[in-house]
Amino acid sequence: MLKIYNSLARDKQTFVPIEPGKVRMYVCGMTVYDYCHLGHARVMVVFDMVARWLRTSGYDVTYVRNITDIDDKIIKRAAENQETIDSLTGRFIQAMDEDSAALGVLRPDIEPKATQHIPQMLSMTSRLIENGLAYVGSNGDVFYAVREFTGYGKLSGKSLEDLRAGERVEVDTHKRDPLDFVLWKSVKPGEPHWDSPWGPGRPGWHLECSAMSEQHLGDHFDIHGGGADLQFPHHENEIAQSEGAHNCTFVNYWMHNGFVRVDDEKMSKSLGNFFTIREVVKKFDPEVLRFFILRAHYRSPLNYSDQHLEDAKQALTRLYTALRGIEIPNIAIDWSNAYGERFKAAMDDDFNTPEAFAVLFELANEVNKSGSVQSAALLKSLGNTLGLLERDPQAYLQAGSSSMDVLTAEQVEQFISDRLNARKAKNFAEADRIRKELAEAGIILEDGPQGTTWRRA
RNA sequence: GGCGCGUUAGCAAAUCGGUUAUGCACCGGAUUGCAAAUCCGUAGAGGCCGGUUCGACUCCGGCACGCGCCUCCA
């Protein structure tokens, strides 16, 4: 029985899909004007894990993750770069695809783009105006009338009064209420625009997610996810738009992942303290990064540092080491096995990956002790449900971390062969010298009954 | 100022009202030519102050500190 922490209820709830056996899930994706950083990595990996676990649990999942390919920052960046918006967004969509693939993130079923849903957005805006929830401001922009929507603030737990009290937004005199937000922006010189009943312009950010989720998942769907920073105002506004246009519940379960931090501060573009995925992946195997992300519960803060990545690497190495040298048959997971049961219980408890990992480590210990092929197969397949342990163990352990490596596998093998001769001749001084030389090059040797194996530190 | 979250051993990170979390690091032992890996074992925890309870890291209250949202942000 899967339980999910629902941000809307501020409580863990038993997951009951709208349609038995099916899950429709929407996640707010990237605005593509720059490379993805670790905060983006966390969203991608976390909801990939969620989608995988739902599928493992037998659900037929439709996973939608949007791409925001038109907004202020994109326009600004394209102008700075003196390139077209299409060229800019095209480049960064490709970069995003490369980064997510490296992290073992499966493609969502649908990746809708904002610019391909303008008619749907216009239609929704019309309906909101008809329902008395939107109006044309004095500057020609179309605004959502927040005070007309009963329940505004229910997701973020804020009342309109509280929000006004903490007002930090510059008062826009074109709005009826300072908290009203824009649905449709009238065109400014030199900006991309589309025709609309309210004149040429472009969509406000919040509107695209309401329009795209409506288009691909319908008026009412199961799970909506995103980073915790989107809870307000983005998701609050989505609720206002979608429920205001549909007159029905929008989403049953809202999920928000915690932030990635640096020195206990949120990693963000505005603070400038971010690391891109491609930067980190140069130093650490992408699977280590995935492991690091899933090692913390998805709702907890995740502090990034090279040392923490190093720890994650050591831990992942232990799992792969347990699998090394075992011929693993492709057998179905035995969920009635004690380890399988505990793993499932952990995952069903709001996707408790740290607890699930603990089970994997205990399984690894069991494999190391018994050499049991069944246990090894279970370890691997449980790991696989999280998108981990999919590679050949030896290949993982010997995989280079790019620029750092000075020796090729062939060179290492040559050293090992030389050392073997020295050892046969009982020339241990020479054997140890070779081992030391390799160690300095980041190569660790392990002498076993079947000969010497090696791995990279 | 309003609202919310967090504080677990050297580091990371879960569970749980009473029984070993887990990983890394550390210490002792086994194994090894010596190592590495592995195994066995030891040690180490719950911000502070109260309350409830036979018993609290776990529930309740207060305090302190940290973080986040209230503005674009994953």
Task: Name the residue closest to the C1' of B21 by its CA.
Answer: A358
Strand order in the sheet with A221-227: A60-68, A22-31, A221-227, A251-257
Q: Mention the CATH class of domain A262-398.
A: mainly alpha
How many residues does the structure list for chain A?
Answer: 457
DSSP A116: G
Task: Give the strands of the sheet with A260-262, arranged side by side.
Answer: A265-266, A260-262, A302-304
Nearest nucleotide (C1') to the CA of residue A158? B3
pLDDT tens, A26-54?
Answer: 999 999 999 999 999 999 999 999 999 99
The Å distance, CA of A328 to C1' of B31, is 26
Give pLDDT, residue A171: 64
pLDDT at A164 (0 to 100): 79
Kindly calculate the radius of gyration of chain A based on its CA atoms and give it in whole angstroms.
26
Per-residue pLDDT at A70: 96
Rounded CA–C1' distance between A366 and B36, in angstroms: 20
Handedness of CA A410, A413, A418, A419 (dihedral sign): positive
pLDDT at A170: 61
ipTM value of the model?
0.96
pTM recorded for the entire structure: 0.96
Residue with tokens 């740290």: A354
Determine the nucleotide nearest to A444 by Cα–C1' distance: B36
A28 is in an annotated binding site: yes
Residue A330 CA to B66 C1' — how many Å?
Answer: 48
How distant is C1' of B27 from CA of A136, in Å? 73
Per-residue burial over A256-284, b if 16 or more Cβ lie within 10 Å, else e, is bbbbbbbeeebbbeeeebbbbbeebbebb
> Is A209 part of any known ligand binding site?
yes
Query: Which positions in strand B are less than 7 Å from the protein's CB atoms?
Result: 1-5, 11-15, 21-25, 32-40, 66-74
By C1' distance from the Cα of A305, the closest nucleotide is B12
pLDDT score of A267: 95
**Gap from A318 CA to B34 C1', in Å?**
23
Tell whether residue A36 is among the known ligand binding residues.
no
pLDDT of residue A404: 62
Establish whether A269 is an annotated binding residue.
yes
Class of domain A3-257 (CATH, top level): alpha beta
Q: Please state the domain extents for chain A.
A: 3-257, 262-398, 409-456
Contact A146, A156 (CB under 8 A): no
Stretches where chain A sits below pLDDT 70 are 165-172, 401-404
Half-sphere exposure of A380 (CA within 13 A, CB side): 23
The string of DSSP codes covering A44-106 is HHHHHHHHHHHHHTT-EEEEEEEEE--SHHHHHHHHHHT--HHHHHHHHHHHHHHHHHHTTPP
Asked if the domains at A3-257 and A262-398 fall in one CATH topology, the answer is no
